[in-house]
Amino acid sequence: MNANELAPHVLQALARAQSEGRTVSLESLTEELRVRRGDIRRTVTLLHRQGFVDALRMRLTLPGFALGRAYLGEELPPLRRPQQGGASTIAAA
């Protein structure tokens, strides 16, 4: 999974949690977004380097919080493509 595709979802989840006063861990992000732990870790590291996330505390910085809050009102593209019919498509042909 591409970190650039996952970043808005991570920012949105962190902003939601931070607004509600919840703490977030790598594990809870993995469960909430249903994405592999390595992909979440890579994305959080990227966002940390860009100055949007404090990875040690798993909290958004001020610019990250502003961006994450902006994503709260938006419908983000799905992380996974819808599955094609596969065998049922072949059987129908």
Give pLDDT, residue 22. 94
* Cβ atoms within 10 Å, residue 60: 24
> Which 3 state secondary structure label does DSSP give 80?
coil
| pLDDT at residue number 63 | 96
Q: What is the pLDDT of residues 30-61, one digit of tens each?
A: 999 999 999 999 999 999 999 999 999 999 99
Fold of 3-72: Arc Repressor Mutant, subunit A (1.10.10)
- Judging by beta carbons within 10 Å of its beta carbon (0-12, 13-18, 19+), is residue 9 exposed, middle or buried? buried
53 contacts: CB under 8 Å, gap ≥ 6: 10, 11, 14, 44, 47, 59, 60, 61, 64
pTM reported for the whole predicted model: 0.82
Reported residue count of the chain is 93
